Structure 1
Amino acid sequence: MITDYLSPTLLAGRTAFITGGGSGVNLAIAKAFAALGARVGICGRSAERLAVGRTALEALGAGVFTATADVRDAEAVQAAIDGCGAALGPISILVCGAAGNFIAPAEEISPKGFRTVVDIDLLGTFHATRAAFPQLRETRGSVLFVSGGQSFVPFAFQAHVGAAKAGIDNLMQNLALEWGRYGIRCNSIVPGPVKGTEGMKRLGGEAEPGLWDQMTPLGRMAEPEEIGQVAAFLVSPLASYVSGARLTVDGGQNLTGSSLFNAALARERTGARSAAR
């Protein structure tokens, strides 16, 4: 439990808003914030997931706001963020976590498919930061961008995601530069392979048992809570002089490159084609 290491009042009095916060890594981040005393707003496209997230966050004693919103819709994001501020108090922590992914060779990605991932990951991140800016300026707050190893390590069948994540990291640095004068800090967190998440399923995490353990120097996948702990540090006063940074939380996985992943996905695709004949 994060409170075994950090004060349960570390984020007391702060309001956090997390896009894509109804499940996976983003919900783990929300739980870490709630355990440390923050009020938490989450948005996402699934009302069912948001309801489950609300229950988990309220069980930790947090005040909670939820809004069903697609981050590709700027007006919906604005309404969600304005609603959160009105319900819980001005936002001082924004986490841009909504993301999309699928496996496809670059030559098979349709323009619509490529655009969908960029719209969710990159444009959705812009929508959230722009909508939250007035509140973040008021609170001298912090923005955490959820990036990915594809931003700086090429992975086969991930051209669309790599382009989107690289854009997120560049946007983070630009906003850290521009918004620093308002006291707003901006940083990226780069999760590695995380157990039990939708993202890992989409990345073929179950195609070859043990693949990600083999690719990771620490020999295991992360627990979602381990990403939440680092996120909490980055948005807390403990990191008050950290801005414009990209912190990789992957057990060293990206140090090994993507060759094993690339080979495993190629084998899976070859097998699927053979079975279809």
Structure 2
Amino acid sequence: MGSYRLHPPQSGLAWEVADVKVLQQRLLAGTHAVVTGAGSGIGQGICVRLAELGAAVTGIGRTDSALQRTAELVARTQGNFQWFSADVRDCAQVRSVISEASAELGMDLLVNNAGGQFYAAADEISDKGFRSVVDLNLNAVFTVISEAKQFLARRGGSIINISLSGVERGSVGLTHSLAARAGVLAMTKTLALEWAHLGIRANCVAPGVVISDSLPGAIASDLRDRVVPESVPAGRPTPTADVAELVAFLATPAGRMITGQLLQIDGAAHLGRGLHMVDNWPPGEEGGE
């Protein structure tokens, strides 16, 4: 097995700042944002931050109890949040939800955050497993965007697709997910070209390792103790709050000329060794490879 020098946690005054909120209060008042995967993790953080900034937020997720938790967090900010329980892979269901949510409010921002994968080497992924991950992380994104377009075009709007670090270089253990997200990146760039005349912008935001409260303890520990030190030059995971603030910035007028981009918020993971999500990699001599 190869040996790698571990990355120490990045130092500096920036990491002594407890609150990364830098945007002007009520900056997004009068806007409507739709966020998929709104019940936990990054999606939940994005919903709360957009609501704090004055946006009316519609969350879409699969679990009522998780969405209710997001609603409770938003309520603490006195923000405006409604939710719909839906599976983004169900084309008819998610199209209906988006239309209902935006019929009166319109839409200014769409955040495609719903997604997921399991970690496995390529030769351990079945046909069914590959297609399931691609359906969630690519096909469903197209369905949501295509339904949202009619609302975004009415007054110009922003599409932000949450991606993964390494989409352009690969990451061990994520063949299926990165194949799907590379497709989303290509789609994002194409839509940025095709819909620019409508005032619609499209970008991908690619976090690195995000350790949210919703992760099982064993996975969170492995990410914190192994993956981050080995794979992230900054030596730290990406805070959810950082991702939420970047998404919010892209939705403001200050982001009006940013489109067709992949913005990687990953502590330089895409420049270093890359994320290796499979243990004991590269294989040693005993692995037979």
TM over 0.5: yes
CA shift for structure 1 position 248: 0.6
- Alignment equivalent of 1:92, drawn from 108, 124, 143: 108
Aligned to 2:226: 211
- Alignment equivalent of 1:12, drawn from 23, 29, 37: 29
Instruction: Tell me the C-alpha RMSD between the 2 structures.
Output: 2.3
Q: Is the 8 A contact 2:166 2:269 kept in 1?
A: no
Aligned to 2:43: 26
Aligned to 2:80: 63
Matched, 1:164 2:180: yes
Correspondence 1:36-185 to 2 at 5 A = 36-86=53-103, 89-185=105-201
- Alignment equivalent of 1:239, drawn from 255, 264, 267: 255
SS in 1 for 2:159: strand
SS in 1 for 2:110: strand
Q: TM-score scaled by structure 2? A: 0.85
Q: Deviations over 1:15-71 (max 9, x none)?
A: 000011111011111111111110100101111111111111122222212011111
Equivalent AA in structure 2 for residue 27 of structure 1: Q
CA distance in 1, matches of 2:223, 2:98: 40
Q: Deviations over 1:197-240 (max 9, x none)?
A: 55x65994423752243222222112211110111111111111
Q: Is the 8 A contact 2:206 2:266 kept in 1?
A: yes
Stretches of structure 1 that go unaligned for 5 or more consecutive residues are 271-277
Equivalent AA in structure 2 for residue 149 of structure 1: S
Q: TM-score scaled by structure 1? A: 0.89
Q: Is the 8 A contact 1:150 1:161 kept in 2?
A: no
Equivalent AA in structure 1 for residue 48 of structure 2: K
Equivalent AA in structure 2 for residue 110 of structure 1: S
**Between structures 1 and 2, the one with greater helix share:** 1
CA distance in 2, matches of 1:74, 1:7: 37
Q: Deviations over 1:154-211 (max 9, x none)?
A: 222211011011011011001111111100000110001112255x659944237522
Equivalent AA in structure 1 for residue 271 of structure 2: L
CA distance in 2, matches of 1:118, 1:13: 35
Deviating above 3 A after TM superposition, structure 1's stretches of 4 or more consecutive aligned residues are 200-205, 259-267
Do the aligned partners of residues 203 and 72 (structure 1) sit closer, same or farther apart at CA in structure 2, a change above 3 Å counting?
A: farther
Identity %, equivalent residues? 31
Q: How many residue pairs get matched?
A: 266
Matched, 1:190 2:206: yes
Equivalent AA in structure 2 for residue 68 of structure 1: S
